[in-house]
Every structure is written in structure tokens, then in C-alpha cells.
Structure 1
Amino acid sequence: MNALLSKRRFTSLLILLLLLISSALVQARSLPDFTELVEANSPSVVNISTKQHKTSSNRLNKEFQIPELPEGSPFNEFFRHFFGEGLGQQQEPREYDARSLGSGFIISDDGYIMTNFHVVNGADEILVRLSDRREYIAKVIGMDKTSDVALLKIDAKGLPAAKIGTTSKLKVGEWVLAIGSPFGFDHSVTAGIVSAKGRSLPNENYVPFIQTDVAINPGNSGGPLFNLDGEVVGINSQIYSRTGGFMGLSFAIPIELAMNVVDQLRTRGHVTRGWLGVMIQDVTRELAESFGMKHPYGALVARVMPDSPSEKAGIEAGDVILKFNGTRLESSSMLQHLVGASRVDKPAEIELLRNGERKTVFVNIGELKGDLAQGDAEAQIKQNAEPLGMNVVDLTKDIREQHKLEGVKGVFVESVTPGAAKSAGIEPGDVIQMINRIRVSNLDEFKAAMKSLPKGGNIAVLIHRRNASRFIALQVPKE
């Protein structure tokens, strides 16, 4: 009997051991081996160091005066020790060299190198060091601040060029690897996964960033982001950090966008981007309900620029752009990315929603210019919109001049009391231009629109505030 129990225990332990070994083997197979990828692709990655000549202003010495202190006071020696003998006297400006570090990668065997705009911007000298320790002075072929891409050239032949990939097949959750020079440590390798695609960052309207958790630090900027096939899928560009160091949020420029910029820099010396001429915002759940949409998606047009491609095509404020050239817009930022990458003077097909009906229009894409991305007081008649909790008045000459509202149409919000309007975010000084999809340019039109508001429902209100227009969702009280 004891022998039988011992045999059963042995069998159970053996099965458990086999399961543990099998689990370890499965786990080992699931973790990639980066060694071959690094060996094959490191030679295409370069270290970039820059030098910029600067002149100090000695502003402190010119403006700061030693306070009058009693003779022999220990504070006299303190000020002289830390601020020098020449405080308050005119001094000659001091010249010095500011240095910075970054990364880049070779995109052709004849010496073209890609990096970030911010790595080489303002540099008086750019030194490129290869993996075999050869060094070259680089020339800037072109730079584009909007995409943060720069193209350099060194006088060399037969260089190991990186293999350029695509982000179209890149999936969230797959492994990616970065090679660069964080803090000057050449050819440091870090790995992680793709956290998200198509990320929009503040003030970065034309780059749909790849978000990763790859460790990126100062000096990694401009370096390549590889997939497991050894193809470059992005350029490491930014991190999100509260400390200045890596916190698990890194952002890379998609390689297709970067290569498009590089091709334009090589052929014409500058970059052109498409322009639609609309101010847009996301469609929230409440706004989607007010427009009769089952799900919130698309780009809501808050304003159409005068004499823009959109105005010429008949696009109106209040339209919801659902698709651009057949691509469904899951968020408004997608429209900016797609339009920016579109060819200028080429027609684009736009599917939109207007007054509950789908409509297709064709827009001839324009070119983005510059850095856009973009009566008497006694005659005032007040309208107390009590159900919404606000007072509105006609836009008189005095109000227009005081609030710089030349050319703006609508009714002026004079005051807001606790209620639906305040909860929605309407403020005194706003101009209501559209309510519940009805355009209003004076009090009579506003009164008429108020009569059609659905009790207890969500409506869209178009307001003009600080030279910008946007829609907000407002819930009309039930009573």
C-alpha cells in the first residue's frame, strides 16, 4: 500500500515538473532574441554631436548692484565671492561653444542620414560618428520643424544603409527596438512594445506618433525604431516625462511620413502640406446624440475659413466629416494627419453628415502656408434665456469694438447664472452662432431657435470665444 502511494506521489511530481519545464520553454520561445537584429543593424546607426557658437550677455552683472553694507560686513565678501568684483560694471560679452548630442541613421549608401530637426537646429558644426569610429562633418540638406525631421549628408561611399519598413502592418503590442546614444553612450540598445498608434500630441497636429514603452532618453532623439524584421518603422523623437527622464511614454515619427519629408527636402528643398481650411473638434457622446449619431466618431467642423478649399467645396460649420478619401475618422486628429499628408491641388473625397443626412463632397486640397496649422447701448434688446440660465443680447457696434468681434455673427452672452448653460461651459463674452443646428445672427433668430429645443435632450451649441469657434454639448432641462 505504501509503495503504491509513493509511486503515485512520484508520478504526480514528475507531471508537475514536466508542466513547469514546458511552461518555461513556452515563455522562452515567446521572448524574442534581439542579438542578430542588433548585430545586423547597429552599423547603420550613427552618433551626432553638434557645436553652436554663443555669446553670453552678462545681463546679471549689468543689472545687479551690491547693496550698500557696513564696512567690514561679512556679506561684502559673500557677494564678491559668488558674483565677482565687476558687478554693476559694463563687461565684454563672453563667447563660448554650446554642445549637444543626438542620434541618426544612414538611409543610403552614399551618405544621406536622417535625424530630428531639434537635434541639429541652430548648429554651426555637425559631427557624425559611425559605428567603426570614423568621423565626418555633415552638411544640412534640409530641415522641417513641423515634422521634426532633418536630412544630413556626409562625404562617404559604401555605407551600411538601414532597411526602411512601413507602419501599415505595425500592431499595438508587438516588439520594437531602439538603438541610439542616450547621454552620449554610443549604440545603446533598448526594447519594448508598441503602446499605441496615431497618437496626437499638443502642438503636433501633423504627426500621428507611434507610442512605445521603449526606454528613450536625451541623446536617443533622431535614432531609429526597428521592428523584429530589422526594418526602421519610426524615428525616436519625444518622451513624456515629469522629471526629464524616461517614464515609459516614448513617441516616434512614423517612417512613411519621415521619408515623404526627406524626399521633398531632396527634390525641392522644402516641404508642402495639404490644407482644408476648417477648425475642427472631436465628436463627444453628447454631441453625437445631438446630431443623431449612434456612436461618436468623425471631425466636427466648428468654423470654415474664408476663401478656403472647404468654403469653396460647400462645407459648413456643424458638418461632421466622417471619412476622408475613404478612411473612416475615429477621431478629429486623424483628419489633420490625412490632410497634411495629401498632395496639394489634388481632389479629395469627403463624406460628411449634415442635418442627419450623409453627403459626399469633393475638395481641391490647398497648401498650408506659414506656421498655421491657424448700435448704441440704448438699442440693446436683452433676451433672457431662462430655461438655459443665460442672458444674451444683439451684437452692437460697441460690443464688437470692445471684444474685437468684427465680422462675427451671432448673439452675445452678457451673463450666465447657475443652470444648463453654465454646466455646459458657456461663459459671459461668448458669442452663440448656432444652437441645435440652427444658425442665429440676431435675437429674433435666437428666440425662434429656442422654441424648437427638445426638452431633456442634448443639443449642440456653436460658440465663438477668443478668436476661435467650437461646439459644446448642452442638455436642455426637462421643464
Structure 2
Amino acid sequence: MHRLWLIFAQTVTVAVAILFVLTTLKPEWIGQRPAIVPLQEAPATASDDAHATGSFRDAARSALPSVVHIYTTQEIKMQRHPLFDDPIFRHFFGERPDSTPQRNSGLGSGVIVSPNGYILTNFHVIEGAADIQISLNDGKTYKAKVVGSDPESDLAILQIKADKLPAITFGQMDNLRVGDVVLAIGNPFGVGQTVTMGIVSALGRSHLGINTFENFIQTDAAINPGNSGGALVDVHGNLVGINTAIYSRTGGSLGIGFAIPVSSARSIMEQIIRNGAVTRGWIGVEAQEITPELAESFGLPDTEGALIAGVVRGSPADSSGVKPGDVLLAVNGKAVKDPQVMLDLIAALTPEERAAFRLRRDKSIVELNIRIGKRPALRVERE
């Protein structure tokens, strides 16, 4: 009896061991499934309007309808070969017709600034265009006309025959700081409306040689060809700049993009809509930066100011006694740090008004009261 009990106990022990091994290593052999590790899932939002942490969907949704695609066509007339006008050539070969003009297409972006069809964009987007087509966010296309442009700031105003358009909300430059998140909206490479994100890398960028008047917002939000004229908006979807240029060695974005501040764009836009052009002050001088070498050569105490290198004959500066070699120190009490600041200060003056100019001539300070003239329009050379 004791022997039978021993055999039974051994059999049960072996069976339990086999069952344990199968349950652990091959549960499917005995019809069991492995336990599922519980996963944590985010709760489904009640609607698409719910706020998403870290998302800028509301800003994009607000601004996207106000950004348009701009398609331009330029007619390039081929030059007639001089041989065609030679009498001997015409005698043997007859009259040769003028070459058929070639057409060149371009693209860019723009921003709807009023419900009645005004659109703000870059001048270089529509420069020389024979035909301009505007494609809205909803797919509708309109033919646009140029209301006016300002090549020196690279801005232009277009208008389409439409109303109740989704105009963008203008932001405040006073609230913009380095490090703020911004979104760039446009039509890069013609792929369609695109939103990129970055931060404000710097403010007041100038001396870049892009425009005559420069006061750029620098951003690392991706800006590529086709983004020009598009919107740079803040996290609320308000317009803070017009995307204008990039620094690139390849033609693509390297994280250094430039936008015209909304404060400058708005002032220029209002002048163009009201007067058809932008009026700036002018006195007729050519200035250059004062380097340490120049300061030593002219015996100047520092490099502050703008060295007057030339004076236009018959200009307001010439009539008031400004001479080459003078150093302009201040305009209406505002310090002139360099030629760019001088240009901006004079341009902001109203033609026909008088302004106080402070200059250094040799070792003395000269105070002049100059009647401001109107800055001549920039002539744009086209090939």
C-alpha cells in the first residue's frame, strides 16, 4: 500500500510540473492566451474644438484662410537680331517676323488684409508680371490688379473683385520678443498651403543688402521659395510679419529667414491704398559708414554718425550748406549711429517740413535747419 501511494504522489508531482512548464512557456498548447499588458490611452476629445496641449491648431486655423497663393506670368520678348534689318539680308530672305514672346511663370504668397479684396505681398513676387492670378484657400481663383508697390521696402498691394473675404488680424510689434513662437504660412515650391513653426531669432535686422529700408524679423521657421509674401503669425494667429527672404547656400531653408514687421508693412500699405505710392523724406546726400580707419584719418573722436561722402547738386542739403566730409550726428534730436539709421530717420520726415540737423565739421559742431524734399522713386531695372 505504501508503495502504491508513493507512485501516485510521484505521478501527481510530475504532472503538476509539466502543467506549470506548459502554462508558462506554451500557454497556447492548453488553450490559454498570454495576458495583455494594460496600456494608457489619451481620452478621446469631445469635439475638434477642444484645446490640445502644445498645439497651435487654433492659430493656424485662424490665419490659414487669409493666406493666398499668387501665380504670375511674365512675357519676355526676344530681341530681334540686327541681321534681320539688313537690306541685303531682306532682299534675299524677305522680311522676318518678330520673335514670339516667351512666357515665364512664377509663384508666391500673399495675405488678405481687408474683406473687400486688398492683398499684401512682396514686390519681387509680382515684379514685371503681365498677369496675376490669386488662388484662395477655398480653391476660388481671381485675376488681380496692382494697386501700388514700393520696391525700396519690397512690398506691393493687389486687389481682387471679391468681398466678405477672411481678412487677417494685425498683431502688435510692441508685444513681440526674441524667443516667441511664430508660424510661417505660404506656398513653398508650389506644393500647396503649408505651415511651419519656429521662434523669433532676432529683431531689427538690417545691413543685409536685401532692401533699401531694412528692419527685419529674423526667424528659424522654415521659409522656402514660394513663401515670399506669406504670413508670419504669432500663437494667436495674428499677423506680425510678411515673409520676404532667406539666407541660403542651396536655395532651401537653413533656418535663417527674414520677415518685414507688421508695423512697417501696415504703414506702407495704408499709404499705397490712400495715395497709390509711398512718400518719404529726402535731402540729397550720399553717406558711408565711419570705420576706425576713417575716424583716425578725419581726426574724429569716435565712429558714431554718418560720413557725408557726396551731396546732390541743387538738393535740399546742397541749398542748406551741407558739405562732403561733414559727419551727420543727429536729426531732430535723434542720434544717427550709421548711414542706415540716417536713411530711416530722414525717410520718416514729411516733405516740405523743416528739420534740425546736427553735424560735425572739422572740430566744430554745425546746426542746420533743412527743408525736407521728396525722395525720388526708385527705378527698377528689368532685363
TM class by smaller structure: 0.7 to 0.9
Change (3 A) 1:196 1:47: same
Q: Which amino acid aligns with 1:364?
A: R
Q: Counterpart in 1 of 2:192?
A: 186
Identify the match of residue 49 of structure 1 among 49, 71, 79: 71
Q: Answer whether contact 2:58 2:236 (CA < 8 A) is retained.
A: no
Q: Which amino acid aligns with 2:321?
A: G
Identify the match of residue 220 of structure 1 among 215, 224, 227: 227
Change (3 A) 1:352 1:232: farther
Give the drift of 1:181: 0.4
Tell me how far apart the structure 2 counterparts of residues 127 and 304 of structure 1 sit (CA, whole Å): 44
Change (3 A) 1:201 1:135: same
* 1:32-181 equivalence runs, <5 A: 33-54=55-76, 93-94=99-100, 97-181=103-187
Unaligned 5+ segments in structure 1 are 1-30, 63-89, 374-479
Q: Counterpart in 2 of 1:242?
A: 249
Q: Which amino acid aligns with 1:117?
A: F
Identify the match of residue 325 of structure 1 among 319, 332, 335: 332
Q: Counterpart in 1 of 2:315?
A: 308
Aligned length: 315
Identify the match of residue 276 of structure 1 among 283, 287, 300: 283
Q: Answer whether contact 2:271 2:277 (CA < 8 A) is retained.
A: yes
Q: Comparing 202-211 with 273-282, which one deviates more in the overlay?
A: 202-211
Q: Counterpart in 1 of 2:260?
A: 253
Give the drift of 1:367: 1.2
Give the drift of 1:46: 0.9
Tell me how far apart the structure 2 counterparts of residues 173 and 284 of structure 1 sit (CA, whole Å): 32
Q: Answer whether contact 2:58 2:237 (CA < 8 A) is retained.
A: no
Give the drift of 1:50: 1.9
Unaligned 5+ segments in structure 2 are 1-52, 85-95
Change (3 A) 1:285 1:56: closer
* 1:303-452 equivalence runs, <5 A: 303-371=310-378
Deviations 1:27-85 (A, max 9, x none): xxxx97433221211111111112334556798xx9xxxxxxxxxxxxxxxxxxxxxxx
Give the drift of 1:200: 2.6
Deviations 1:327-378 (A, max 9, x none): 32332211112222322112223233333444433222111224389xxxxx
Give the drift of 1:94: 4.5
TM-score (norm 1): 0.59
Q: Answer whether contact 1:176 1:194 (CA < 8 A) is retained.
A: no
**What's the secondary structure of 2:111's corresponding residue?**
strand
Change (3 A) 1:294 1:174: farther
Q: Which amino acid aligns with 1:371?
A: L
**What's the secondary structure of 2:253's corresponding residue?**
coil
Give the drift of 1:115: 0.9
Tell me how far apart the structure 1 counterparts of residues 78 and 379 of structure 2 sit (CA, whole Å): 33
Change (3 A) 1:372 1:235: same
Q: Answer whether contact 1:175 1:194 (CA < 8 A) is retained.
A: no
Tell me how far apart the structure 1 counterparts of residues 285 and 319 of structure 2 sit (CA, whole Å): 12
Q: Which amino acid aligns with 1:285?
A: P
Higher Cα Rg, which structure: 2
**What's the secondary structure of 1:244's corresponding residue?**
coil
Q: Answer whether contact 2:181 2:235 (CA < 8 A) is retained.
A: yes
Q: Answer whether contact 1:172 1:196 (CA < 8 A) is retained.
A: yes
Q: Answer whether contact 1:140 1:153 (CA < 8 A) is retained.
A: yes
Give the drift of 1:114: 0.7
Tell me how far apart the structure 2 counterparts of residues 359 and 170 of structure 1 sit (CA, whole Å): 39
Change (3 A) 1:315 1:187: same
Q: Answer whether contact 1:206 1:340 (CA < 8 A) is retained.
A: no
Give the drift of 1:95: 5.2
Q: Which amino acid aligns with 2:56?
A: F
Q: Answer whether contact 1:195 1:213 (CA < 8 A) is retained.
A: no
Change (3 A) 1:161 1:305: same
Tell me how far apart the structure 2 counterparts of residues 167 and 291 of structure 1 sit (CA, whole Å): 40
Deviations 1:101-147 (A, max 9, x none): 11000111111111111212232322212222222222221222222
Q: Comparing 113-122 with 281-290, which one deviates more in the overlay?
A: 281-290
Give the drift of 1:291: 5.8
**What's the secondary structure of 2:63's corresponding residue?**
helix
Which structure has more RCO (C-alpha within 8 Å, separation ≥ 6)? 2
TM-score (norm 2): 0.72
Q: Answer whether contact 2:59 2:234 (CA < 8 A) is retained.
A: no
**What's the secondary structure of 2:212's corresponding residue?**
strand
Give the drift of 1:227: 3.2
Tell me how far apart the structure 2 counterparts of residues 173 and 327 of structure 1 sit (CA, whole Å): 29
Tell me how far apart the structure 1 counterparts of residues 317 and 236 of structure 2 sit (CA, whole Å): 42
Give the drift of 1:182: 0.3
